[in-house]
Structure 1
Amino acid sequence: MKSYFKIFDFISEQKLRDSLILDYKEVLTCLKRKAYKAAVVLSGGIVEAILINRALYLPNDKKNKIEKIYLELTGKKEQIEKMELSPLIRTLSSLGVITSPQAGRSDVLRDYRNLIHPYKKGGRPTKSDAQNVKKLLDDLIKEFQVGILEINDESNVRLFLAHSAYKEKREKPEYGEILKLFYAMNGRVDFEDFIKLSIFKNKPNPSKSLISNLTYLKSQGLCNFDTNSWQGYPIRRYESWVMDETIKKLVGEYLKNIKI
């Protein structure tokens, strides 16, 4: 990572830029002194500040859309600087303000930051946790520096399937069942076939749960919907989902290695 005096040049507000430089320097100090919890908290705060700054400097019409989508997601009418991080990430991603992989990285950093809540995660951040957070933070900063994400679906999928920072996410049982079915069906699966999986069939709202899980895997570059399969009646959704051949091979290797 280049000098931390220059890494936040993409931040337009001087006061915030100076503050983030100090925060980043403190992250390095915390890692050196084994203050891993503090490093995780500061890293999460840096990401939150970057995303809020990006949203605040958008044109007014786009900021209005952010507030509208946030209201739809949370039921709360909030100013951008007071928005909670998780729905803000989803909102910015849906509007194309940040890319899907950037949203994924931000979401993982948010999950790590939740390690500070002992009743949610049951433990303090470890050295490995803090190092993973630092790596994710550096990757995200680099992406914002160049203005575009220099990563394609294949490399993003490799990251999701192998990086320790995504371990908790990718081991979610629903994702495993979806990936297995994609691989078994040669990369093309109808919505009704997904619904037949017992892990979804037994949920209170199978369709809603399935769509949520498919959408997340889509954000990681693992699959996409078939645009020709849109069905507006009686239920508005895409009826078929597809997985690229190259991605399917990576998924096959992943499933083989974990012996699912």
Structure 2
Amino acid sequence: MIKIIKNDKIRSHITLDLAELEICYKNNCYKSVVILSCGIIESILYDIVSNTSRLKSKIENFEKRNIGLEELIKLSKSENLLNENTILIINKIREYRNTIHPNSYIRTDLSISENIAEIANACVKEIFKNLAKIQENELEKDSDYIIKNFFKSEFNRLPTESELTIFSPIIGKYNKEKGLLIIARSINFINAKRK
């Protein structure tokens, strides 16, 4: 299940957190379970977004700033990465996680119980269960992926970095079919000019 995480550092981090999560859960360390669950969920969502140019482009300055769980949840909701119930549960778990901050536990009456920890743990498992499907759906929408497959099938090669840079926005602006038609016509025009 963890092999599906693409970034090596994130995969390693999640592996350690999952082991610690299991230990905390078995030893009734419920606050730790909630904190670790939120960290794992954030890491999973970050891995999905960082490996999908279409999603990455939805967050301004993605590469240059820290992206938190709240922003990843909002993106997951707007892009239908996760179902509505899962989003609601993650948001509720995040509220409980935030009770580590003094201003949060003073303002709210939230306390982390075994039930909350169990829900957080189950939510992590549910997201992992659906991760392959989420990634597959995103790949189908990802412009770089679409262009690479198009070049493989039409030209028996991968596109250059320049071609990806030029053609990716076309897929992003138009739907897949129209974008590929524009790209094919552009390449045919360039090839005709070369002759």
Distance in 1, Cα, partners of 2:65 & 2:2: 19
Report if aligned partners of 2:48, 2:135 keep a CA contact under 8 Å in 1. Answer: no
* Mapped partners of 1:92, 1:80: distance in 2: 20
Q: Give 4+ residue runs of structure 1 displaced > 6 Å after superposition.
A: none
Structure 2 counterpart of 1:135, from 122, 126, 129? 122
Partners of 1:9 and 1:105 in 2: CA distance: 25
- C-alpha displacement of 1:78: 6.1
Distance of aligned partners of 1:105 and 1:8 in 2 relative to their CA distance in 1, 3 Å threshold: farther
1:106 deviates by 2.9
Which has the larger share of helix?
A: 2
**Corresponding residue for 2:16?**
22
**2:112 paired residue number:** 125
Sequence identity percentage: 26
- Pick the aligned partner of 1:93 from 77, 89, 98: 77
Residue 145 in 1 paired to residue 129 in 2? no
Aligned pairs, how many? 132
Q: Determine the structure 1 residue equivalent to 2:38.
A: 44
Structure 2: runs of 5+ lacking an equivalent: 137-195
Q: Cα–Cα, structure 1 residues 100 and 63, in superposed 2: closer, same or farther, change >3 Å?
A: same
CA distance in 1, matches of 2:91, 2:65: 18
CA contact (8 A) 1:34 1:127 kept: yes
Between the aligned partners of 1:129 and 1:36, the Cα distance in structure 2 is 8
Distance 1:120 1:138 in 2: 30
Structure 2 distance, partners of 1:136, 1:93, is 16
Deviation per residue, 1:191-238 (Å, 9 max, x gap): xxxxxxxxxxxxxxxxxxxxxxxxxxxxxxxxxxxxxxxxxxxxxxxx
- Are 2:96 and 2:110, in contact at CA under 8 Å, matched by a contact in 1? no
Partner residue of 2:91? 107
2:73 aligned partner, one-letter code:
I
Q: Alpha-carbon deviations, 1:1-30, whole Å to 9, x = none?
A: xxxxxx222210122112101101111100
Once the two structures are TM-superposed, the CA of residue 84 in structure 1 deviates from its matched residue by 2.9
RMSD over equivalenced CA pairs, Å: 2.6
Which amino acid in the other structure matches residue 58 of structure 1?
T
Structure 2 residue aligned with 1:116: 100
How far off its partner does 1:79 sit? 4.4
Q: Structure 2: how far apart are the matches of 1:35 and 1:109? A: 15
Q: 3, 8, 33: which is aligned to 2:2?
A: 8
Q: Deviations over 1:27-80 (max 9, x none)?
A: 110011111111110110001111111111112x5422222xxxxxxxxx6647
Task: Could you tell me which runs of 5 or more consecutive residues in structure 1 were left unpaired when the two chains were aligned.
Answer: 1-6, 68-76, 150-260
Contact residue 43 and residue 133 of structure 1 kept, 8 A: yes
Q: TM-score when scaled to structure 1?
A: 0.45
Higher relative CO (CA 8 A, sep ≥ 6), structure 1 or 2? Answer: 2
Opposite residue 120 of structure 2, the aligned amino acid is V
More strand by share: 1
2: CA distance, partners of 1:120 / 1:65: 33
State the distance in 2 between where 1:108 and 1:141 align: 18
